[in-house]
Amino acid sequence: MCKRLLIALAGTLMVLAGSARAEVDANYRVVLLTENFPPYNMAINGKNFAQEDNLDGIAVDIVGEMFKRAGVNYSMTLRFPWDRIYKLALEKPGYGVFVTARLPEREALFKWVGPIGPDDWVLLGRSDSPIELTSLAQAKQYRVGAYKGDAIAEYLIEQGLQPVTVLRDQQNAKKLMAGQIDLWATGDPAGRYLAKQEGVSGLKTILRFDSAELYLALNTAVPDEVVQKLQSELDRMRSEGFVDDILGRYL
């Protein structure tokens, strides 16, 4: 009799535990943080703080759709500076930050969902440019435009180039079309997006000299089940062509 009672009690506890877990799952919310990084993440008003419907961009659209399809609750906020939101995602359970490069030194610090898109460094030229390059060193003979203080400009200098810098990267799109520079060192797809904003299209990639993939980085306390759901939905969105459609919308 005692044994039967214990079995019954154990069964009841399992049911209650399962119900409690289901309730936690249903109410689970991930706090998503991002920064101004066009065309992936940006505030519609251009400011350094925005939430939900006031956000726009490739990654904003992809990540939002991914969470909705996975049935995972979330909030989305754009803040400044990057160091602060990165630290919050690193330290606070239930937090995540996007988009960021998945580097070897960061691998164990987060749980990752992606890739969401590329963040390559390229040399762009006009569509009629005859320039052909197989290495960055070959670009030394050309006038290369870059964004002053940017990591790409600093890298070019380290490699022995002397880039012609401007205060706003999109200025290089018009300088390229006007023949004031031969090549534009910028990010991809960021450069193409900025060019489009300036009414410039048809640029071609002369050289891709660095490649990286951007991800959603989640705090390690986010349940594996949530991470797997999100990754599965992202994979499905990519296979359906949804991700390419979003890229095409902005670029």
d(CA 63, CA 85): 17
Q: Which residues contact 81 (CB under 8 A, 6 or more apart)?
A: 35
For residue 101, what are its two tokens?
């490069």
What element of type H or E holds 95? strand 95-101
| Out of 3-17, 79-93, 227-241, least confident range | 3-17
d(CA 180, CA 70): 49
Domains annotated for the chain, with CATH where assigned, are 29-117+213-250 (3.40.190.10), 120-210 (3.40.190.10)
Cβ–Cβ < 8 Å for 181, 147: no
> Coil, helix or strand for 180?
coil
Region of 92 (left: φ > 0; alpha: ψ -120 to 50; beta: rest) is beta
**What is the DSSP secondary structure assignment for residue 48, as one 8-state letter?**
S
d(CA 205, CA 124): 5
Q: Sorting pLDDT into bands at 50, 70 and 90, what band is 15?
A: very low
What element of type H or E holds 184? strand 183-188
Residue 141's alpha-carbon distances to 42, 99, 134, 160, in angstroms, are 36, 35, 13, 11
Task: State pTM to two decimals.
Answer: 0.78
Query: What pLDDT does 149 receive?
Result: 83
Q: Sorting pLDDT into bands at 50, 70 and 90, what band is 3?
A: very low
234-249 pLDDT, tens digit each:
999 999 999 999 998 9
- Give exposure, 170-209, as e/b (b: 16+ Cβ within 10 Å): bbbbebbbeeebbbbbbbbbbbbbbbbeeebeebeebbeb
